[in-house]
Amino acid sequence: MPSGHLVFFTSLSGLFALSDTMSIEEKFLESLRSKFESGKTRSIYPRVKYHDLLAKIKLLESSEKKLTKDYYNLRRYDIFNIGGFERLITKVSENDEGNFKIYVFLEELYGILEKAHKETGHGGRDRMIKQLNNGYANISRDAIELFLSLCENCNMKKKHIGKGVVVKPILSKDFNSRGQVDLMDFQSNPDGNYKFIMVFQDHLTKFCNIKALTSKCASEVAFNLIDIFTIFGAPHILQSDNGREFTALVISELKLMWPELVIVHGKPRHPQSQGSIERSNGDIHDMLTAWLRDNESTKWSIGIKFVQIQKNSALNKGIGRSPYEALFGKCATVGLTSETKIPKEILMTLEKEEDLLKLQTESVNDQPVTENKTENIVHASDIPESIAEPNVEPSTPITDETVNDKGNAVVATRFGQLQGTFGTNEMGICKQNLILEEEINCETTLSVREAATHQSLSGGQGFFKCSCKTKCLSNRCKCKKNGRKCNSRCHSSTTCDNK
């Protein structure tokens, strides 16, 4: 490495931080363990102390002499036994025996957070709190924020704070009163014959249906909408920001396939009035990117099926619940794995319905009987929906060695050192160190786009776009010449016949 330069994280590619040899899970547990030992947190006990407390509660239930602290523990904790596994749970009343939450110990916390994080499509703090509060009593906000700061996918997301646009809001009173359809252009990263993603969203509940398309022809869009409408029913109004003419063509195709269907298209509006589905598109894009990285796959036509359930199951701040819950009145389930009260070790052994019924019978018979039953005690803190992000200190300080005389910095990645230098306004600081020092490559030089291409699972962006002023019918059009349809990055106002 050239003298006088220091490698540190920047938001240009998302992979420029230094780290020691500890794994992400080891860092997480070490940080929480140090907080526990210093007295900064008492919500999550290490495994040994957890089982000591469990044994103490069992003794206190049969003991005649009790101290003040003992009564406090008996009011707070109970023991749940299922399949031979004993867990501390919140105290419940006799009339509400099935509604309790589990206390977890430190060593199992990372796996629980990782599972919830993937189930929410790498969702943020509020989504994870909503997900975890359904089954766990002592997972704190600080622990969730620490986990998120260590997630590489989440650190790679670039956040931009834009100016708000004041527009007249669209109001919907019922499900299917208004449907919004939008197309996401994936021509630069096709999956076989699939080149587009269609997102159809109910405006009231925000429930999404996602389909992979080979083209954006009105007939193919209409065919996939029919598949949705025959399950959930058709909306009164269909709205799209792909143009009023496009929406009219889609509705015409729908009437040809389903003559009894009568839909009108929405009024042309300012693009920001389509903000609800545009935000959904961005969310779906982030979830799909995370799914592809987690599964080391480029098959986004398969990934969107899992993203669909993640999106509909995740908390939507606008409606204060998940779209699935808003539509069906209950939270989405994924088989028995959604039943957090059954230990994972037992779930993996179940094969037949008889096994499940036997387990449920045993769990009822093994439950301890306590004299004083109280109502549920919820120990999770009330967290407002919107909290400003805290200021983050750089994991590696920017020193005189990092910045040259002009105030610019040299940045290196896993794949090589980036060309030129970068100002502090072009960089962001990672909350945690995520890359080993020996992984940094300073031997080769490459551009930012080349670094992004190396990092990309699909081999980079590779967008084809034209700026034609005609209808793109001849090979003078770059897109037409390369056998591609014109995309959203091409000309915006010119009539195009290559779509």
CATH no. for residue 90? Answer: 1.10.340.70
Taking 90 as the threshold, does the pLDDT of residue 6 lie above it? no
Residues whose CB falls within 8 Å of the CB of residue 304, separated by 6 or more in sequence, listed in order = 197, 210, 211, 212, 284, 288
Q: Are residues 289 and 324 in the same domain?
A: yes
Q: Are residues 46 and 132 in the same domain?
A: yes
117 against 378, higher pLDDT: 117
Q: pTM of the full predicted structure?
A: 0.72
Assigned domain for 172 exists: no
Q: Are residues 120 and 194 in the same domain?
A: no
* Residue 112, CA atoms < 13 Å, CB-side half-sphere: 26
Residue 378 sits at φ, ψ, to 5 deg, of: -100, 120
262 against 300, higher pLDDT: 300
Assigned domain for 474 exists: no
pLDDT of residue 380: 31
pLDDT of residue 270: 47
pLDDT of residue 397: 40
pLDDT of residue 499: 74
pLDDT of residue 199: 94
pLDDT of residue 478: 85
At 55-83, the pLDDT tens digits run 988 888 778 788 888 888 888 888 888 76
The pLDDT-based confidence of 160 (bands split at 50, 70, 90) is low
Of 328, 356, 376, the one marking the end of a domain is: 328
At 257-287, the pLDDT tens digits run 999 888 887 764 444 445 667 788 888 999 9
Q: Are residues 294 and 354 in the same domain?
A: no
Considering Cα of 464, then 469, then 475, then 480, what sign does the dihedral take?
Answer: positive
167 against 226, higher pLDDT: 226
Q: Are residues 148 and 216 in the same domain?
A: no
Question: How many domains are contained in the chain?
Answer: 2
Q: Are residues 273 and 352 in the same domain?
A: no
pLDDT of residue 417: 86
Taking 70 as the threshold, does the pLDDT of residue 167 lie above it? no
pLDDT of residue 245: 73
**Are 336 and 350 in contact, with CB atoms under 8 Å apart?**
yes
Q: Are residues 238 and 122 in the same domain?
A: no
The boundaries of the domain holding residue 262 are 178-328
- Mean pLDDT to the nearest integer, 309-317: 91
Taking 90 as the threshold, does the pLDDT of residue 239 lie above it? no
Report CA 72 to chain centroid distance, whole Å. 38
Q: Are residues 324 and 347 in the same domain?
A: no
Assigned domain for 381 exists: no
Q: Are residues 145 and 187 in the same domain?
A: no
Of 328, 353, 387, the one marking the end of a domain is: 328
pLDDT of residue 384: 37
Lowest mean pLDDT among 175-179, 415-419, 451-455: 451-455
Assigned domain for 17 exists: no
Lowest mean pLDDT among 46-60, 319-333, 469-483, 484-498: 484-498
**Are 494 and 480 in contact, with CB atoms under 8 Å apart?**
no
pLDDT of residue 435: 75
What the block records as the tokens of 177 is 């009163």
CATH of the domain at 277: 3.30.420.10
The pLDDT-based confidence of 163 (bands split at 50, 70, 90) is low
Q: Are residues 141 and 189 in the same domain?
A: no
pLDDT of residue 370: 42
Q: Are residues 73 and 194 in the same domain?
A: no
pLDDT of residue 369: 42
Assigned domain for 382 exists: no
- Mean pLDDT to the nearest integer, 424-441: 74
2 against 80, higher pLDDT: 80
Taking 70 as the threshold, does the pLDDT of residue 392 lie above it? no
At 104-123, the pLDDT tens digits run 999 999 999 999 998 888 88
Here the contacts of 394-397 (C-beta below 8 Å, separation 24 or greater) are 394/8, 394/429, 395/8, 395/9, 395/17, 395/429, 395/430, 395/431, 395/432, 395/433, 396/6, 396/8, 396/9, 396/17, 396/18, 396/433
Q: Which helix (H) or strand (E) holds 178?
A: strand 178-185
What is the number of residues in the chain?
Answer: 499
Q: What's the first-to-final CA gap in the chain, in angstroms?
A: 49
At 320-343, the pLDDT tens digits run 899 999 999 988 888 877 766 777
Assigned domain for 98 exists: yes
Opening angle at CA 381, ends 115 and 333, nearest 5: 35
Query: What CA–CA distance (Å, rounded) separates 231 from 239?
Result: 19
pLDDT of residue 212: 96
State the average pLDDT for the chain: 77
Taking 70 as the threshold, does the pLDDT of residue 48 lie above it? yes
pLDDT of residue 221: 93
Query: What CA–CA distance (Å, rounded) separates 484 from 20?
Result: 46
Assigned domain for 120 exists: yes
Query: Which value, to the nearest 10 degrees, does the dihedral of the CA atoms of residues 318, 324, 329, 331 take?
Result: -110
String of DSSP letters for 138-150 = S--HHHHHHHHHT
pLDDT of residue 399: 38
pLDDT of residue 454: 77
Taking 90 as the threshold, does the pLDDT of residue 208 lie above it? yes
Q: Which amino acid is at 329?
A: G
At 351-366, the pLDDT tens digits run 888 887 877 776 555 5
Assigned domain for 72 exists: yes
Q: Are residues 182 and 280 in the same domain?
A: yes
Considering Cα of 288, then 291, then 293, then 297, what sign does the dihedral take?
Answer: negative
Q: Please report, rounded to a whole number, the percentage of residues in the chain having pLDDT higher than 90.
A: 19
Taking 50 as the threshold, does the pLDDT of residue 19 lie above it? no
Q: Please report, rounded to a whole number, the percentage of residues in the chain having pLDDT higher than 70.
A: 76
Query: What CA–CA distance (Å, rounded) separates 219 from 322?
Result: 31
- Mean pLDDT to the nearest integer, 406-428: 79
- Mean pLDDT to the nearest integer, 149-159: 77
Lowest mean pLDDT among 192-206, 271-285, 292-306, 375-389: 375-389
